[in-house]
Each structure stands twice: as structure tokens, then as C-alpha cells.
Amino acid sequence: MPTSTRGDHRNAADGDGAVTAVAIFLVVGGAMFAVALLAAWFATPAIRSALCGSAVALLGCAGVGVGAATLAGAQTQVAVGLSLPLPPMVFDPDPLGGFFMVVIGLVAVATAVFGIGYARGSAAESPLMWTSFAVLVLALLAVPACADAVSFLLCWELMALASTALVFADHRGRAEVLSAGIWFTVMAHVSFLLLLLGFAVLVGAADGDTAFGALSEVAPDSVAGASAFVLLSLGFAAKAGIVPLHVWLPRAHPAAPSHVSALMSAALVKLGVFGVLVLVLRLLPGGPAWEGVALMVAGGLSALFGVLQASVAADLKRLLAFSTTENVGLMFLAVGAASLLTASGADAVAGVALVACLLLVVAHAALKTAAFLAAGSVHHSTGERDLDRLGGLGRLMPVTAATFGIAALAAAALPVTAGFVAEWSLFQALIHGAIPGDGLVSVAMPIAVAVVALTTGIALLTFVKAFGIAFLARPRSPAAATARESGLTMRAGMMIAAAAVLVVGVLPGFVASAAATAVAVPVVDGSAAGGLMLVPFNALLAPAALTALLVVLTLVVIGWQMVAARRAPRREVELVWACGAGSLTPRMQYTATSYAEPLTRVFDDALAQTRDVEVTHADESRYLISRVRFSQQVDDVFETLLYRPAVRLFNRIGLVGGWLQNGSIHRYLIFSFIGLLLVLAVSR
């Protein structure tokens, strides 16, 4: 498999200019982090959000600078001594880490700018929350830069602690936040425990050396290599929200403030993808075929399950959270395909799959930032997240509607957006990946193509529902009818993210070239006016030309409509959709539940929904009905069959074990004596 190297990129920094630039970015980033902390605790509430948000945005810019310099070949090694009895923390990002630092930094800029207006007057304006936000951005930028296992685990835990504090931000105002925070905390530390065990196996096999370079010497097909792969991939999958370790994600994203939800979806879960890439490219490269198959199965299952759950969700942020599970599943599928193809000797096609994975990372980061910020703007203005209580916001909140519309187009992989470019590249890799004579690959690739195609189709239905019901038609509640567009900084944050979706979609060659550099695969030619050429297949994508064609066709349609309008004057007629009964009312419109009803019937077993119809008859006759009430609930089948029984089991164990702590000093002494005997027996 193509590997992400660590030595070659240092030699490119022959002059002092690149090193000086990196040093400047590091100093600026550290200064902005300090400013954010000071402003969080000592600034007045009137200017706290403005100072903190601006400082964190500049911290994100510094991260972009360091990442870009790393991709360009600059040396970025930094050692930080610890007062603990541990070796110093070493930060030395390779090009792959630099790529992720650029993505995370840009997401931090958009979310921090949005947070200035969103946090004002809310629980997210507290000093603790702005401190946690700054710490989270710093940790997110630090994880891709780590060069050894100890530094990686410490930054990973710092990231988990900061994000946990942010999920709990509004626990006083909403009861469901406490439950979401507990789930998030448990799964975050399950992820850390799995990573700790996986790195411990690798470090033991590497004679105690914690540097990534030494860990890469462990044979991937050995017992230690296979065990470490399973443990580490599960740990990264838990952070990425891969099924069945996804249960924290649809809870935490709706519970957190919207700019935090955007940062978590667009950046935090991407570090799970980054970890898997580091695992298969750097720590255990050239692994056996079963590793690729396992990643493909996990990714395909997550993509299908996530998009199905999103298609039936009525809560806007819950819909976006499950959509994140779908998108990350596609990234895992791409990494698994690359690993499997490498094991089969198809290195060039594997390189295209890796580039497609990184394009998916960029596309998802941009579109989910835009979507979550737009959802936050809707909630900030209306106080609603339920699609069935929204509607008509396109006219009242045009910037928010445009932002969500662009994100929806990208999520549905429609031209000319970042999502289309990424999934087109993935399709190319999977279609050309069928190797004659290799039965495993010949079976796996067509199935993967079918999974991606089905996922894309359902995603289109999902986001047509989300945009149409939330922003079109008539308002379904007084809050939606009186909504107002959000403030300047919130609009600025949304526009930054929406612009990124379109820029990557129209000029993908530059991003694809950077992705190819990050994973050291010469499979992309992005020099042709920003177009994307996949060299192994001679497959060319020219979004700029496609954009020009769409503009021309749009102008033709508009011109034809104007001419037709002059020939046929507008007339007032009775509303056909109201069956001649008068004006159209919100009750006559589709709801999120009714729109998804055909899909829930097709995938009844996978969605495991329960329906209840309550009929109230008139007092005079049992044949006359005065009221009908319909309710439907879609459960998470993995939560129902796996997590709830596990929680009940642990509760029983806790109750049974309660007799151990009954206050009797005699019993405690007996337990201590038994424990001492066990220790002596084991030592013997």
C-alpha cells in the first residue's frame, strides 16, 4: 500500500523561509490560544464572545498555516517536556497530518466566527464553555501532529475531556443533555481504552519504543500486529461513529451548541478516520486482505444504516448526526477498499481510493459545517429543531436557506459540489477495482458500488425532505412564521462553509493534488484549470465546464419563461391543491414523517419502527369519529438489541455487588486479606 512517509518531507525545507513561516504560525497559534483563555475568564460578557471567537478563529488560521507548510515540505518538529515521569511530547506531522490540520483549522475558523453571535446570551457564552472550545480546537490540531503513542494518547484524552464539557454545556436547560453527555463520556473513554490497549500491544512488540517509526517495524501479519489492528481500529471507529459504536453521535450532536456540533461532526469524528489511515499507512502498512474486508464491511454497514436513520428523522440535528455516520462509513469503505486492493497488488487503484477518502473528508467537513451552522441558525431564530414545526424559512432567512441548500446538494452528491467530486472519485476506484482472477476483490467491489449507489439515492431523498419541509411551503408554527435572519457573524460563518463546498466542487484539482501528496500516491493530475484527472484510468472531471453549462442552461430556461410569461398573462385561479375548498393551509402539506413513510415500509425490518393509531369516537355513535391520533417511533436496532441489554446487565451487577460496600470494617479487612493472598499467589 502507498505509505505516508516521514523523512522525505523534511529535506524539502532547505531554506530558512519555510521554517521561519512555521515558527511564526506556531507563535501566533500559541498567542491566540492564550488570548482566548484570558478573554474567557477576564473579559466582560459584552465582549467575551467576540474576543474568544476571534482568537479561536486565528488559532484555526495558524493551524491551517502549519498544515499547509507541512504539505509543502517544511520541517515542523516540536518537543514539549512534561513534569510527569514520561518522555517529552513530540509533535512532527507528516503530510497526512498536515492535510488534516488544514481541514480542521478551516472548520475551526467557520465555527468560531459563527459562535460569536450564536453564543451571545446563551449557556455557551460562559467562561468554561469558551475555554473548552479553545482547548478542543487546540487538541484537534495537535492530534494529527503527534509523532509517538504517548503524545497521541494524551492529546486524544484532552480532546475527549474538552468535547465532553461542551456536550454538557446546556445541561441545566434541557433534561436530555445529561443523558447525551453520559453516553458521550462512556463511549469517549471506551475509545481511549481500546487505543491504549492497542498501542500497548504495539509498544510491547517494539521493545518498549513509543515512536511511530519504531511501531511501524511490527509485522502486520503477526499476532501482535493483528491484535493491535483490531483494538486500534475499534478505538478509532468509536470516535468516528461507526456502527455499532455510533450510539453517542445522534445524542451528542443535538445536545451540544450548534457551532460545537459542527466542529464535532466536521472535525472531531474525522480524527477517527485519520487514525485508521495512520494505522493502515504508517503503523501497520501492507496488512492482510481480511483487514481491508473488515473495514469495508464496517463502512458499508454504517453508510446504509446511517442514511436510513437520517431519512426517517424529524429532528433536524439528529438527521444531520445520522448523516455523519453515513459519510464516515463511506470513508471507512474507501480505506478498506484501498487496503484490500493493495493486498491484491493493485497499488494504483488503491491510491485512487485513498485520494477519494481524503476528498470525502474535505467534502464532509465543508458540507456538515454548513449544514450544522444553518441548523443552528434556524434553532437560534425559531427555538425549533422539529421539521414538522418549521416551514417557510426560505423567504424569512435567505442566507440560512441558501447555506443549507448548498450543503444539501453536496450531501446528495449533486454537481457541482464537493460531495459530487468525492463520490465520483470513490466510484471510479471501486468500478476499476475489480481484478480478474481475484475472487475476493471481484465480489467485494461490485457490492461496494451497490452500497454507495443506494446510499447516495437515499441521501438525495433525505435532504430533499430536510430542505423542502424546513425552508419551503408554509410555516407550521408561530415561531417559524415570525423567524428572522441571524446576525452578521453567524451569517459570515455559514457563508465561509458554503463557499468551501462550492469551491471544492468547482475546482477540485487543487484539493485532490494535496490529497495525493498527503498519502504519497502520484495518481492525480489537477493542473488542468482546476479539473481532476485520475491518471490510472484517464478519467477526467471538469466541474468548471459543467458549471458553465449549467449557467447557460439556467439562463436559457429563465429567458424562455420570461417570453412565455409575456405571451400568457398571469391569471388568478382557484387553488387546485385545495380541491376548491379555499386557501392552502399548513395541515395540507407533507410532514417529515409522511414524506418518509414509503421508505419506512420498504426498510421496515432495518428501522424497527413502532406505530400507534388512537381513534376517538363520537359520544352519539361508534361509527362517527371525532379524532384520530397517529404516532410513529423509529428505534435504533443496535441500541435495542445490544446496548439496552448491556446496560440492564451492568445495573444488575452493580446491585448484586452493592453488598460488598455495607460499612462493615470486618468485611473490608477480609477482602484486603484475600486480595493480598491473590497478589502473593500471582507473584509466586
As given in the structure block, the three cell numbers for residue 496 are 465561509
* Between 92 and 110, residue with greater pLDDT: 110
Worst-scoring range by mean pLDDT, 398-412, 467-481, 632-646?
Answer: 632-646
Residue where the block lists cell 483549522: 105
- Cα torsion 652, 655, 660, 662 to 10°: value is 180
Of the candidates 447, 448, 465, which has an alpha carbon nearest to the alpha carbon of residue 411? 465
As given in the structure block, the three cell numbers for residue 338 are 484501498
* pTM, entire model: 0.90
The pLDDT tens digits for 368-402 are 999 999 999 999 999 888 888 888 898 999 999 99
Output the pLDDT for position 13: 41
Output the pLDDT for position 580: 57
Where are the alpha helices (H) located in 264-315, listed in sequence order? 270-278, 289-312
* Between 87 and 112, residue with greater pLDDT: 112
Q: The dihedral of CA 238, 240, 245, 251: what is its sign?
A: positive
The model's confidence at residue 492, banded by pLDDT at 50, 70 and 90, is: very high
With a cut of 50, say whether residue 9 has pLDDT above it: no
**Percent of the chain at pLDDT exceeding 70:** 90
Cis peptide, bond prior to residue 378, ω within 30 of zero: no
With a cut of 90, say whether residue 199 has pLDDT above it: yes
Mean pLDDT score of the chain: 86
Asked if residue 142 lies in contact with residue 59, where contact means CB atoms within 8 angstroms, the answer is: no
* Alpha-carbon span 612 to 673, nearest angstrom: 58
* Between 16 and 69, residue with greater pLDDT: 69
Q: What is the mean pLDDT of residues 626-653?
A: 80
* Alpha-carbon span 108 to 101, nearest angstrom: 10
Output the pLDDT for position 21: 63
**Percent of the chain at pLDDT exceeding 90:** 43
How far is CA 680 from its chain centroid? 49
Residue type, 172: R
Burial status of residue 588 (CB atoms within 10 A of its CB: 0-12, 13-18, 19 or more): middle
* Alpha-carbon span 584 to 159, nearest angstrom: 50
Output the pLDDT for position 581: 56
The pLDDT tens digits for 504-541 are 998 888 899 999 999 988 888 866 656 788 888 887 88
Output the pLDDT for position 422: 93
The pLDDT tens digits for 412-455 are 999 888 999 999 999 999 998 777 777 788 889 999 999 999 99
* Between 175 and 499, residue with greater pLDDT: 499
* Between 542 and 143, residue with greater pLDDT: 143
* Between 671 and 498, residue with greater pLDDT: 498
Output the pLDDT for position 530: 63
Q: What is the mean pLDDT of residues 174-182?
A: 81
Of the candidates 542, 469, 471, 94, which has an alpha carbon nearest to the alpha carbon of residue 274? 94
* Between 178 and 572, residue with greater pLDDT: 178
**Phi, psi dihedral angles at 256 (to 5 degrees):** -75, 155
